């Protein structure tokens, strides 16, 4: 066992782990961060300006580089070599893992929408899933602090699904693009509002980070720090306190407990040597991502915790949720033949369509309980993979037609809330271990009618918007069961160690503290009691900032010895 002294051992360096380490070190606590992936420095390793011509297959996606050759995920993806997971019969579940310092924050889309007062008490309203153990007002000041620290651009809209930030917290958003304004106008005719997307992108300089210059692909990472990733912000800031030690290539296997069943150490495999190591841990914070943290708990069986650590309720691994997803695209006649000008912006959409249906749901007019929003993809690019087939011919005339159609396609991507159901969960597959000898996760998944009805509604809405824009789209809609993305595919998996008010049906209390083990905390999306449609990561960081502050207070008071 190591003789180095830390107040807290944090597992993971992504949104949750880095925010935990940042908060704790700023409050004077000594932190050891254990990260399974390799060290990564976006300042020197980000291929921001490389040309597609310099990459194999012109940078196109391949099975081991799912989002293209230059994607920021230098280690990881839908498959991690030597680290499989298994699925039950009839389950299709996709699990994106990034094995690198900063985790998935090096690549994420940076959409950063607050949950609203609608989102914390869904069960009380419609009887599905579970309530959170607090209301929106409890998190509001922490959202402000997180948005300010992280740097989020957007606008206060006054819409009831998009709570306002306090004055001067948000950075100004970029201007909407022409195709986005067209969608906004068409959606407006259907009573659907449009709003600036909130994104963790700096539009003004902040600390050592520069403002976005609207020119490169955020998915490659951002060496100037404009796009938020923990490797250019929270981790260096925490290191600057002198209180953070980072150990990369440390694949945590289990949390060890003492005779009373309290956490006392963490065992990890040194990925460089394959040797197991154990480090003393007065307090453990698991932030390895929802399914990895649940896996660690389920693999931490002991006499005191025979079902796995913190699992007396049997809820670890249960209540697994992702966002729903479905896409629809159309070519818009009004966008054909427009002059080509610079419309780049910060990679993703500047406007989006927030959920507008709370009142309809309250009146019982919809056959699904929870909302969704539309993200948009527009801009000067060829209109879709089918296009070369339609573009027959050669020479000057073919080039003229291709230029004419350039930038005329719009895609609407639905992102919706699912309700947890008994068919969606993960457990340990005792028959399979990874290359480190650690038993792997096994997934079970089935969408319910709630999600299929929601997607049906979303596809009909997208079709109606496109029709108003004069697009040639079929009346007949795709089957929602075919159109809906696979479980896990939207990469918003949460809920596997949910928080609540009772140890009978939840894993942690409102502070992310395990009911069964007072010096063990979970600070990732595992603790979510529900999965509102507004992309989970801002709330992971906000909740972590709040809960790590509470943890530091308890340590100061000696309440967690
Ligand atoms: C392409 C893409 C687009 C996305 N877009 C958005 C978006 O626009 N908005 C949004 O809100 N979210 C988005 N997400 C999701 C977002 O990235 C995650 O919600 C967020 O990163 C989760 O944070 P986390 O700290 O729980 O996990 P991660 O960021 O995955 O970090 C977990 C870290 O723990 C490490 N780890 C795992 N297991 C172990 C172990 N056993 N021992 C030690 N370390 C371990 C991992 O290597 C990793 O570095 C996107 C994700 C992807 C991949
Ligand atoms: S578009 Fe802006 S935020 Fe995105 S990578 Fe380029 S500079 Fe960074």
Judged against a pLDDT cut of 90, whether residue 436 lies above it is answered with: yes
The reply to whether ligand 2 has any atom less than 6 angstroms from the CB of 130 is: no
CA angle 346, 166, 540 (to 5 degrees): 65
Burial of 113 from C-beta contacts in 10 A (0-12 / 13-18 / 19+): buried
* Ligand 2: centre distance to CA 217 (Å): 6
The reply to whether ligand 1 has any atom less than 6 angstroms from the CB of 455 is: no
**Residue-wise pLDDT tens digits, 400-415:** 888 898 899 999 999 9
The Cα 545–Cα 537 span in angstroms is 12
The reply to whether ligand 1 has any atom less than 6 angstroms from the CB of 512 is: no
Note the pLDDT of residue 2: 43
Reference 517, options 261, 133, 297; nearest CA is 261
* Mean pLDDT across 312-340: 96
Which atom of ligand 1 lies nearest, measured to the CA of 97? Answer: 30
Q: How confident is the model at residue 64 (pLDDT cuts 50, 70, 90)?
A: confident
Contact present, 263 and 255 (Cβ < 8 Å)? yes
* Ligand 1: centre distance to CA 11 (Å): 12
The reply to whether ligand 2 has any atom less than 6 angstroms from the CB of 49 is: no
| Residue of minimum CA distance from atom 6 in ligand 2 | 216
Which ligand lies nearest to the CA atom of residue 525 in the structure? 1
The Cα 432–Cα 84 span in angstroms is 8
E strand or H helix that includes residue 195: strand 195-196
Q: How confident is the model at residue 63 (pLDDT cuts 50, 70, 90)?
A: confident
Judged against a pLDDT cut of 90, whether residue 299 lies above it is answered with: yes
Q: How confident is the model at residue 1 (pLDDT cuts 50, 70, 90)?
A: very low
Which ligand lies nearest to the CA atom of residue 217 in the structure? 2
Which atom of ligand 2 lies nearest, measured to the CA of 210? Answer: 7
Tell which one of 68, 107, 202, 213 to mutate to probe ligand 2, the residue whose CB is within 8 A of the most ligand atoms.
213
The reply to whether ligand 2 has any atom less than 6 angstroms from the CB of 412 is: no
Judged against a pLDDT cut of 80, whether residue 115 lies above it is answered with: yes
**Residue 424 CB partners (closer than 8 Å, separation 6+):** 319, 320, 321, 418, 444, 445, 446, 487
The reply to whether ligand 2 has any atom less than 6 angstroms from the CB of 226 is: yes
Note the pLDDT of residue 4: 56
Tell which one of 214, 346, 349, 379 to mutate to probe ligand 2, the residue whose CB is within 8 A of the most ligand atoms.
346
Note the pLDDT of residue 393: 83
The reply to whether ligand 2 has any atom less than 6 angstroms from the CB of 212 is: yes
Q: How many alpha carbons fall within 13 Å on the CB side of residue 324?
A: 34
Burial of 390 from C-beta contacts in 10 A (0-12 / 13-18 / 19+): exposed
Token readout for 78 is 């839908």
* Ligand 1: centre distance to CA 166 (Å): 27
The Cα 561–Cα 555 span in angstroms is 7
Note the pLDDT of residue 388: 67
Q: How far, in Å, are 178, 340, 378, 410 from residue 334 at the CA level?
A: 10, 14, 13, 11
**Residue-wise pLDDT tens digits, 215-266:** 899 999 999 999 999 999 999 999 999 999 999 999 999 999 999 999 999 9
**Residue-wise pLDDT tens digits, 78-95:** 999 999 999 999 999 999
| Residue of minimum CA distance from atom 52 in ligand 1 | 108
Burial of 437 from C-beta contacts in 10 A (0-12 / 13-18 / 19+): exposed
**Mean confidence (pLDDT) of the chain:** 96
The reply to whether ligand 2 has any atom less than 6 angstroms from the CB of 223 is: no
The reply to whether ligand 1 has any atom less than 6 angstroms from the CB of 269 is: no
Percent of the chain whose pLDDT exceeds 70: 98
**End-to-end Cα, the chain, rounded Å:** 20
pTM of the predicted structure, to 2 decimals: 0.97
The reply to whether ligand 2 has any atom less than 6 angstroms from the CB of 153 is: no
Judged against a pLDDT cut of 70, whether residue 3 lies above it is answered with: no
**Residue-wise pLDDT tens digits, 366-388:** 999 999 999 999 988 777 665 66
Which atom of ligand 1 lies nearest, measured to the CA of 289? Answer: 26
Burial of 484 from C-beta contacts in 10 A (0-12 / 13-18 / 19+): buried
Report the interhelical angle of 449-468 vs 178-189 (nearest 10°): 110
* Ligand 1: centre distance to CA 192 (Å): 31
Mode of pairing for the β-strands spanning 8-11 and 520-522: unpaired
**Residue-wise pLDDT tens digits, 459-477:** 999 999 999 999 999 999 9
The Cα 407–Cα 338 span in angstroms is 8
* Ligand 2: centre distance to CA 471 (Å): 32
Note the pLDDT of residue 382: 73
Tell which one of 201, 211, 233, 345 to mutate to probe ligand 2, the residue whose CB is within 8 A of the most ligand atoms.
201
| Residue of minimum CA distance from atom 21 in ligand 1 | 104
Note the pLDDT of residue 390: 73
The Cα 188–Cα 327 span in angstroms is 20
Note the pLDDT of residue 387: 67
Tell which one of 13, 104, 197 to mutate to probe ligand 1, the residue whose CB is within 8 A of the most ligand atoms.
104
């Amino acid at each position: 066992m190591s003789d180095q002294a830390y107040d807290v051992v944090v597992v993971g360096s992504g949104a949750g782990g880095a925010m935990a380490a940042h908060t704790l070190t700023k409050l004077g606590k000594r932190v050891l961060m254990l990260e399974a992936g390799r060290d990564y420095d976006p300042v020197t390793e980000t291929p921001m300006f490389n040309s597609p011509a310099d990459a194999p297959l012109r940078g196109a996606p391949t099975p081991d580089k799912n989002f293209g050759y230059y994607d920021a995920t230098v280690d990881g993806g839908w498959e991690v070599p030597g680290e499989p997971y298994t699925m039950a019969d009839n389950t299709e579940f996709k699990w994106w893992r990034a094995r690198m310092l900063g985790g998935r924050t090096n690549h994420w889309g940076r959409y950063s929408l607050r949950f609203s007062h609608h989102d914390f008490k869904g069960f009380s309203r419609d009887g599905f899933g579970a309530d959170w153990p607090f209301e929106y007002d409890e998190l509001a000041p922490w959202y402000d602090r997180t948005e300010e620290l992280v740097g989020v651009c957007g606008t206060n809209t006054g819409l009831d699904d998009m709570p306002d930030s306090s004055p001067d917290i948000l950075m100004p958003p970029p201007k909407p693009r022409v195709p986005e304004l067209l969608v906004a106008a068409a959606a407006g005719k259907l009573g659907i509002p449009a709003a600036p997307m909130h994104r963790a992108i700096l539009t003004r300089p902040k600390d050592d980070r520069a403002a976005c210059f609207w020119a490169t692909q955020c998915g490659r990472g951002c060496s100037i720090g404009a796009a938020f990733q923990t490797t250019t912000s929270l981790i260096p800031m925490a290191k600057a306190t002198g209180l953070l030690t980072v150990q990369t290539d440390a694949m945590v296997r289990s949390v060890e407990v003492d005779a009373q069943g309290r956490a006392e150490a963490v065992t990890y495999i040194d990925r460089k040597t394959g040797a197991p190591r154990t480090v003393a841990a007065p307090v453990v914070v698991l932030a390895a991502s929802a399914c990895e943290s649940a896996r660690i708990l389920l693999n931490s069986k002991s006499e005191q915790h025979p079902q796995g650590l913190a699992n007396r309720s049997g809820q670890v691994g249960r209540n697994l949720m992702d966002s729903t997803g479905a896409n629809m695209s159309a070519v818009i006649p009004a966008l054909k033949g427009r002059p080509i000008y610079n419309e780049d912006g910060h990679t993703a959409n500047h406007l989006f369509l927030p959920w507008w249906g709370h009142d309809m749901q309250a009146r019982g007019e919809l056959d699904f309980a929870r909302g969704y929003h539309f993200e948009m993809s527009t801009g000067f690019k060829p209109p879709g993979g089918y296009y070369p087939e339609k573009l027959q011919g050669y020479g000057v005339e073919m080039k003229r037609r291709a230029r004419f159609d350039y930038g005329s396609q719009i895609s609407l991507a639905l992102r919706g809330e699912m309700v947890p159901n008994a068919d969606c969960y993960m457990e340990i597959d005792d028959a399979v271990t990874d290359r480190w000898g650690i038993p792997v996760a096994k997934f079970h998944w089935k969408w319910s009618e709630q999600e299929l009805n929601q997607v049906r509604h979303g596809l009909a809405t997208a079709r109606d918007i496109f029709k108003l824009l004069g697009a040639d789209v079929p009346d007949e809609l795709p089957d929602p069961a075919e159109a809906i993305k696979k479980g896990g595919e939207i990469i918003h998996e949460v809920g596997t160690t949910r928080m609540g008010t009772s140890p009978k049906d939840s894993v942690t209390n409102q502070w992310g503290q395990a009911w069964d083990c007072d010096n063990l905390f979970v600070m990732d999306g595992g603790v979510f009691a529900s999965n509102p449609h507004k992309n989970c990561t801002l709330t992971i960081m906000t909740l972590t900032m709040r809960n790590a502050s509470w943890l530091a207070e308890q340590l100061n008071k000696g309440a967690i010895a």
